[in-house]
Chain A
Amino acid sequence: MRHPQQIGRMSAPRRKVQLATAAMLLVATTMAACGDGQDDGGKASAPKAPATIPELTTDPLTLSFIWFDWPPAQALETFANTEYKKERPNATIKVNTVPNANWHDAMFTQFAARKTDFDIAILDSQHIGEAVTNGNILDITDFVKTNIDVAAYDPYLLAAYGQFPQAETGKRDENASLYGLPLLGDTWTMIYRKDLIGDKPPQTWDEMISVAEKCQADNPGVSGLAFHQANGSDAAAVTYNTVNGVYGGNLWDSKTRKIDGVLNDAAGHEAMDVLVNKMKPLTARGSGNWFIDEVNAAVAQGKACIAFNWIAASGGLLDPKQSTLGTTREQILDKLGFATLPSQKTDLVPLGGMGMHVSAYSPTANQTEALNFMKWFQRADVQKKWAAAGGVPSRTDALKSPEFLNAGPFNQVYADSVPRMRDMWNVPEYARLVDIENTNVNAALNGAKSPKEALDDIAKEQQSVLDSSSRKGGGGL
């Protein structure tokens, strides 16, 4: 043996040195991973954007968005790269997309890392509370005052996509702060088969159910209804909330933050009963996990008499390549009608759509470009072009313009629905509230819970989420 001293167990002092080195490495790794500490100790409020747009860079710049994967995302990228580039040739627009179910997580995990690969987050209106409270997006109140003609909008649309704390349905608080501007308006449309139920759409919810029932009985193989029932995203929750609103229910009392006893009052139970016992039996077997695409597929394949879907996702229904209802757009339109939702005790419809919000962690040059893009996007002429390109604008003049109203058969539905919109809770706890509602409504629709049990569970569990801020440990359960 040439080196006997190097074989076998090392001496105690040497082991101590190696252990100490390992411990130091661990501490160093810990400190490096923890960053500068400023992140974690940073105050939880949104930083302010400048009132006026600073000087823009002349260097090539990519302005990145994050959205979920659906036709408006591709439409936005094409539209922005065509039109915005005319004014800012050095800017390229990239709309990054993720599956709908990952949308919230994809944005907020990056916010959690205090570093985003996007400059503009396209947030659902309900995400605003969480993003503002955590300081993830810029406060653009002063920027809006200086650069945006707020009088050009329906006040509620401006509030819904940007204001926090949440606006009451139909109202806007002039003194509240704004954190975003509208990108895409949306609501549900009722899609009905004119060739099966006639040209005149049902006017009340009860009438709609009886028409669907008759249509299903008269047309074997075609289900009476098709709507969102999945337990992912906000699918089943929006369906229940819509029926709840139509039957005069309320989601909560925002002033007292009370859900238990409000959501599950008599109107709430009636809505759940209508949904599970009257509407669900008219849907296709196994449709308990349907969302946007599945509902569209059922309509396009002629398998549903009446369906409900988001307007912004309905464009594909008119594409003959995706439909069995006709070989031309005109033939399809002979069979498909689009109408505002039927009313019952109220005429409320769900507010959909999203706003643009500037990431607080984006580089300054990109934040500046983002503000410039938002100012450009809200111009009257650009909003009309956006409407013609398939977007749903929020400016009143654009909503009334022929460019918008003639762009799609469902655009009139949107214009008529604007005064009827109601949103969900725009609070930091939104993601958990909607998950509770989604899973329980989905359970009721698929026979895993009775309607009463499901609604009472939603109310109880959601209330405990709102009340859990003072609990010591176990948050999130």
Chain B
Amino acid sequence: MLATVFISPALLLLLAMSVFPLLWALYLSFTDYSATRGGPARFVGFGNYTAILTSAQVHQRALTTLIYVVGAVALQTVLGFGIAYLISRRTHGRGLLTTLFLVPMMLSPVVVGLFWRFMLDAQFGVINSMLGSLGLGQVEWLTRQRTALISLIVVDTWQWTPFIMLIALAGLTAVPKYLYEAASIDRASEWFRFRTITLPLVWPLLLIAVMFRAIEAFRLFDLVYILTNGGPGVSTETLSFHVYKVAFLGFNTGTASAYGILMVLVVIVLTQLYLRYLNKLKEG
């Protein structure tokens, strides 16, 4: 009884803030409910789900999101692991370097978005100014179709590479030293040691970091909102940004709920498959 009393506040909070909204969104996803129009919610069956899954607009946003997730997470993994590897080999100033590299991760995405927006400005931004001093031409970073998406990937990478670095550094630190000592005695090359000792031991941890980053990147909203507002046109609109528009421009709450549920399902299914692979890797 005492245990129930102690856990009930947390349970109530969980029910009110997490379980209920999810179930309510699930219910709304089968209706044509609009938060502003009021009136009763009419049941539309799987109408919202069918419309979303067959919508060319949604397909376009899904492709944009996929390119973004793959590009950003791949770049962050390579850079994050590379930085962690270099830091792990240092004996002096490791703590200071790690702290400095972690700073971008601690900033609010809105702040990051705003100052990168200024830095990437085609007219007075520092990036174009630097390119100009090198004799290179101006680049329209945020207003051209290709460069806008690349800019988003670069900014996200700047902010979140430290996360991968931190996890990778934890993995690298945990590799037993005697393995390297044994390899040295066998006169194994640096590359051989990296390939056969370092990478296999850090790999599972790195994959978990990749999973967290991929889930986060899949939900990207804030940077898009601040940097490009989805433009030019809709070329950098991600799925989350599109859900926001459906939910708050026309207040199509039912459709937005179905859209959100589908996004959750995609994340759950992909994460499950990924975790199974990780378990197999662990067992192997």
A67 to B190, CA, bound (A): 63
Q: Are A232 and B38 in contact (CB under 8 A)?
A: no
Judged by a CB distance under 8 angstroms, whether B76 is at the interface is: no
List B residues 27-84 near A (Cβ within 8 Å).
Answer: 32, 34-41, 44-52, 55, 57-58
Question: Which of chain B's residues have a CB closer than 8 A to the CB of A43?
Answer: 39
Judged by a CB distance under 8 angstroms, whether B173 is at the interface is: no
Question: Which of chain A's residues have a CB closer than 8 A to the CB of B235?
Answer: 443, 448
Q: Are A285 and B138 in contact (CB under 8 A)?
A: yes
Q: Are B23 and A26 in contact (CB under 8 A)?
A: yes
Question: Which of chain B's residues have a CB closer than 8 A to the CB of A56?
Answer: none
Per-residue interface assignment for chain B, residues 244 to 267, with 1 indicating a CB less than 8 Å from any chain A CB and 0 otherwise: 011111111011100000000000
Q: Are A44 and B39 in contact (CB under 8 A)?
A: yes
Judged by a CB distance under 8 angstroms, whether B104 is at the interface is: no
Judged by a CB distance under 8 angstroms, whether B176 is at the interface is: no
Judged by a CB distance under 8 angstroms, whether A231 is at the interface is: yes
State whether A231 and B32 are in contact (beta carbons under 8 Å apart), knowing that A474-B50, A477-B57 are contacts in the complex. no
Distance in angstroms from B19 CB to nearest chain A CB is 7
Q: Are A473 and B250 in contact (CB under 8 A)?
A: no
A133 to B48, CA, bound (A): 23
Judged by a CB distance under 8 angstroms, whether A135 is at the interface is: yes
Judged by a CB distance under 8 angstroms, whether B105 is at the interface is: no
Judged by a CB distance under 8 angstroms, whether A375 is at the interface is: no
Question: Which of chain B's residues have a CB closer than 8 A to the CB of A40?
Answer: 38-41
Partner of A476, one of B20, B39, B234, B250: B250
Judged by a CB distance under 8 angstroms, whether B16 is at the interface is: yes
Question: Which of chain B's residues have a CB closer than 8 A to the CB of A104?
Answer: 249
Q: Are B251 and A108 in contact (CB under 8 A)?
A: yes
Question: Which of chain B's residues have a CB closer than 8 A to the CB of A472?
Answer: 32, 44, 47
Partner of B36, one of A18, A29, A111, A445: A111
Q: Which applies to chain B's interface (DSSP): helix, strand, loop or mixed?
A: loop
Q: Are A473 and B254 in contact (CB under 8 A)?
A: yes
Distance in angstroms from A426 CB to nearest chain B CB is 16
Judged by a CB distance under 8 angstroms, whether A270 is at the interface is: no
A108 to B58, CA, bound (A): 25
Q: Are B232 and A231 in contact (CB under 8 A)?
A: yes
Q: Which of the segments A205-213, A351-359, A401-409, A431-439 contacts the partner chain? A: A431-439
Chain A residue nearest to B231 in the complex (CB): A231
List B residues 133-147 near A (Cβ within 8 Å).
Answer: 138, 140-145
State whether A474 and B51 are in contact (beta carbons under 8 Å apart), knowing that A285-B122, A286-B123, A443-B234 are contacts in the complex. yes
Q: Are B38 and A29 in contact (CB under 8 A)?
A: no
Q: Are A443 and B232 in contact (CB under 8 A)?
A: yes
A435 to B142, CA, bound (A): 19
Interface size on A, as a range, is 35 or more
A130 to B44, CA, bound (A): 23
A153 to B38, CA, bound (A): 35
Judged by a CB distance under 8 angstroms, whether B171 is at the interface is: no
Interface size counted on chain B using CB atoms at 8 A: 59
Count of A-B contacts judged by CB separation below 8 Å: 172
Question: Which of chain A's residues have a CB closer than 8 A to the CB of B245?
Answer: 435, 476
Judged by a CB distance under 8 angstroms, whether B11 is at the interface is: yes
List A residues 27-69 near B (Cβ within 8 Å).
Answer: 29-30, 33, 39-44
Per-residue interface assignment for chain A, residues 444 to 477, with 1 indicating a CB less than 8 Å from any chain B CB and 0 otherwise: 1111110000100000000001000001111111
Judged by a CB distance under 8 angstroms, whether A314 is at the interface is: no
Distance in angstroms from B60 CB to nearest chain A CB is 12
Question: Which of chain A's residues have a CB closer than 8 A to the CB of B32?
Answer: 472-473, 475
Judged by a CB distance under 8 angstroms, whether A440 is at the interface is: yes
Question: Which of chain A's residues have a CB closer than 8 A to the CB of B246?
Answer: 476-477
Partner of B252, one of A39, A286, A475: A475
Question: Which of chain A's residues have a CB closer than 8 A to the CB of B40?
Answer: 40-41
A33 to B15, CA, bound (A): 11
Judged by a CB distance under 8 angstroms, whether B178 is at the interface is: no
Q: Are A232 and B233 in contact (CB under 8 A)?
A: no
Question: Which of chain B's residues have a CB closer than 8 A to the CB of A476?
Answer: 245-247, 249-250, 252, 255-256
Question: Which of chain B's residues have a CB closer than 8 A to the CB of A447?
Answer: 144-145, 232
Q: Are A44 and B37 in contact (CB under 8 A)?
A: yes
Distance in angstroms from B223 CB to nearest chain A CB is 15
State whether A231 and B233 are in contact (beta carbons under 8 Å apart), knowing that A40-B41, A112-B35 are contacts in the complex. yes
Q: Are B44 and A29 in contact (CB under 8 A)?
A: no
Judged by a CB distance under 8 angstroms, whether B230 is at the interface is: yes
Chain A residue nearest to B46 in the complex (CB): A473
Question: Which of chain A's residues have a CB closer than 8 A to the CB of B233?
Answer: 231, 439-440, 442-444, 446, 448-449, 454
State whether A431 and B249 are in contact (beta carbons under 8 Å apart), knowing that A286-B121, A286-B123, A475-B255 are contacts in the complex. yes
Partner of A22, one of B15, B51, B144, B250: B15
A103 to B251, CA, bound (A): 15
Chain A residue nearest to B249 in the complex (CB): A431
15 additional contacts (CB under 8 A) given A40-B38, A109-B248, A471-B51: A104-B249, A134-B37, A285-B123, A285-B138, A286-B141, A288-B143, A289-B228, A432-B249, A443-B231, A443-B232, A446-B233, A448-B145, A474-B51, A476-B247, A476-B255
Give residues in B with beta carbon < 8 Å to A: 4, 11-12, 15-16, 19-20, 23-24, 32, 34-41, 44-52, 55, 57-58, 121-123, 138, 140-145, 228-235, 245-252, 254-256
| Interface CB pairs A-B, < 8 A, 15 | A109-B35, A130-B36, A286-B142, A288-B232, A289-B229, A289-B231, A429-B250, A431-B249, A432-B250, A446-B231, A448-B235, A471-B51, A474-B48, A475-B34, A477-B55
